[in-house]
Amino acid sequence: MEKVLNITNGDCAVDIMRQTCLAGDFLPWRDVLHEGPVPENLSLAELSKIRSRFISDSGWGEPDSIETSFADRDKVLYSHGEYDHVILWFEHDLYDQLQLLQLLDWFNAHKDKNTRLSLICVDQYLGMLSPQAMKDLLNLQQTVSADQLTLASHAWAAFRSADPRLWFELLNADTEALPFLSGAVLRMLEEYPAALNGLSRTAQQTLLIINESQYNPMQVFGRYQQTEQRRFLGDVVFWGILDEFIHCDPPLIELQGNQAWSLPPCADQILLITEGGLAVLQGRRDWLDLANYNRWLGGVHLTADNIWRWDSNAMCLISS
């Protein structure tokens, strides 16, 4: 019997795969690569240490547990030569596309010649499929091509570069080999501070929603998800955006009735936009003047001394 390793985006997809009784072992990749540092010129092991430290420092888990999880994950990848067939299962959104680039780039350099490598990449959310629908996706698997490996390595290097113009240049490159890549490139660029007011697309949409009506944090997150054609952001990352808005000086949002803010938030917390929030939303003030801006987007470390902005009208990056 063929020995199979199924690699996919996270535990929800793995749970459904197990319900289908799919053959093989399962490896959830579990990394939010669109958040935090992904610097260049590092091995997988070195990068995993940086990623696990970022995730634990963000309060998304216990440091020892996270570090062990990354080490165990990488150990399985290193042993892929023990399998006859590796199947990559991924979606069309930014979260998945970055994971897919990382994996394809790694296999481009390390694939065992005796192991078949296949890809299933669809415009459906794997964690929301029925077991039968998940099983049916096996009919869509294709052997990973040399063009896909080459493009992934090029794109992964661009994502990890300290120069964001390399990632931007992918918008005009031939990315047909990976059909969902161009959408991921654009969506990542939209997370750069906007030319108008310094807000990322996600932050801008969040303020717009809070300005609409009186919502609790869960309702704001739900409405934000509806603004994404390809949803990629988890709620834990989203709570961090709200936390920044509440604690900046002056705050952009506040809680109704002097309620106390908590993480994770509570359903009875009602969010309101402040005068400062309206000023930023309307472009009368710049978010970067209010925030202690320190954010990594792939290999680009944005600080007060190194700011790149995204002009959505001109579709270009601006250094400021």
pLDDT, tens digit, for every residue of 204-214?
Answer: 999 999 999 99
- For 297, the enclosing helix (H) or strand (E) is strand 295-298
What's the mean per-residue pLDDT of the chain?
Answer: 96
Cα distances (angstroms) measured from residue 236 to each of 55, 126, 297: 11, 20, 17
| Alpha carbon distances (Å) from 134 to 15, 89, 230, 231 | 11, 10, 19, 19
Looking at the domain assignment, is residue 304 inside a domain? no
- Answering whether pTM is above 0.85, one says yes
Look at residue 146 and tell me whether its pLDDT is greater than 90: yes
Place of tokens 């049916």: 136
Are 152 and 46 members of one domain? yes
Domain that holds residue 33: 4-189
DSSP assignment, residue 6? E
223-255 per-position pLDDT tens digit: 999 999 999 999 999 999 999 999 999 999 999
Q: What does each C-alpha distance from 116 to 25, 92, 109 come to in angstroms? A: 15, 23, 15
Structure tokens at 38: 């992904």
How many percent of the chain have pLDDT more than 70? Answer: 100
Is residue 162 located within the same domain as residue 59?
yes
DSSP bridge partners of 254: 272
- Looking at residue 1, its pLDDT comes to 80
Q: Are residues 169 and 215 in the same domain?
A: no
Q: Of 169, 189, 209, which closes a domain?
A: 189
Number of structural domains found in the chain:
2
Q: What is the pLDDT of residue 7?
A: 98
pLDDT in tens, 57-110: 999 999 999 999 999 999 999 999 999 999 999 999 999 999 999 999 999 999
Residue 177's pLDDT is 98
